[in-house]
Amino acid sequence: MPTTYRDAGVDIDAGNELVRRIAPLARRTRHPQVLADIGGFSGLCAVPPGLRDPVLVASTDGVGTKLKLAFELDRHDTVGIDLVAMCVNDLVCVGARPLLFLDYFATGKLDVDRAERVIRGIADACAACGCALLGGETAELPGFYAPGEYDLAGFAVGVVERDGILDGRDVREGDVLLGVASTGVHSNGYSLVRRIVADAKLDLRRPAPGFDRPLGDVLLAPTRLYPPVLAALQAQVRPKAIAHITGGGLIENPPRVVPEGLGLCFHRGAWPEPPIFDLLRRAGGVPEDEMLRTFNLGLGLVVVLAPADLDAARRALRALDVDAWPVGEIVPAPGPQRVWIRD
């Protein structure tokens, strides 16, 4: 008896149906530089006109074990936003604006409705950032993933003028640190988050003490998209350096954008820490140094500015309804220590 690809667990018809559904989602993210519709062997995108010396910037990332919460709660509408954010937010750190995005969605058995919800989130995030969803790959891999589970990877390309690259070379002692609010945990540290939830027997479907919505809603809040923040800042001031606070937290990320010999001093009381972090700290008995090197603690970006630019930068972000606070300053760092946290 003949054996088909479907018999082996791969449904080509389901894959074709998904492409049919997501084509309009991708189409609404198009900008004038996109040269072809989704569905070809490759996506085509021109460099925007009017740039004197454009440099392409690339970034790739995933969502990580935050996906496990999405599976448990059967909530798939926000993880696509996380995927885009984790890629395009890294482009911001060199001053680039996103140009195009590609996604990779892999699963054991393709559920078209679930995959469409994920990719709709990707398209929504791309549209919010002025970034074209240029294409992607859907892989059905029987036996490779647990039933109902999938993995996501994203690939972003941005563009920046060569003389507009943020490389930290202009950072000086006395420059100020502007902390830009996160929307919560974002997409890092979820292996620790999940361990705390399990060990403390926290119910994801009910509000934790002191919260007015289910804990799962709080933990699945999507990562903030920072390209609009960069655009607002660049319209008013020139940032000297930007750090995206991801894995490594406030201890390991900011020094990556500051020259040797300089460090960062944060004033802990200068910004309000979202309550979710204190819940995790207390429920898990997590030491403070571990909190600082794992989570963003409420600061998704740290922007280094000349002191004279601080007020203009804060006004620009208030116009976006994005909270930001002066959270510290650049200090000398003659030894190996690069970050100080002061009360």
Q: Please report which helix (H) or strand (E) contains residue 62, including its range.
A: strand 54-62
As a whole number of angstroms, the distance between CA 107 and CA 318 comes to: 41
End-to-end Cα spacing for the chain: 73
What is the arithmetic mean of pLDDT over 185-206?
Answer: 98
Q: Where are the alpha helices (DSSP H) in 170-255?
A: 190-199, 215-219, 227-234, 249-252
For the chain, give every domain's residue range: 12-164, 176-342
As a whole number of angstroms, the distance between CA 160 and CA 147 comes to: 42
Q: Are 294 and 249 in contact (CB under 8 A)?
A: yes
Q: Which are the contacts of 290, defined by CB distance < 8 A and separation ≥ 6?
A: none
| pLDDT tens digit sequence for 212-262 | 999 999 999 999 999 999 999 999 999 999 999 999 999 999 999 999 999
For every residue of 11-52, DSSP letters joined together read -HHHHHHHHHHHHHHHHTT--TTB-S-TTSSS--BPPPTT-S
**Top-level class of domain 12-164:** alpha beta
Q: Which CATH architecture has domain 176-342?
A: Alpha-Beta Complex (3.90)
Q: Is the pLDDT of residue 209 over 60?
A: yes
Least confident residue range of 16-25, 227-236, 290-299: 16-25
Q: How far is CA 316 from the centre of its chain?
A: 21
Q: Is the pLDDT of residue 1 over 80?
A: no
More confident residue, 15 or 190: 190
Confidence (pTM)? 0.96
- Angle (CA) 64 60 224, round 5°: 65
Q: Which are the contacts of 7, defined by CB distance < 8 A and separation ≥ 6?
A: none
Does residue 325 sit in helix, strand or coil?
strand
Does residue 215 sit in helix, strand or coil?
helix
Q: What is the pLDDT of residue 9?
A: 86
Residue holding tokens 């054996």?
3
| pLDDT tens digit sequence for 97-128 | 999 999 999 999 999 999 999 999 999 999 99
- Angle (CA) 14 10 19, round 5°: 30
Q: Is the pLDDT of residue 2 over 70?
A: no
* Amino acid code (one letter) for 114: R
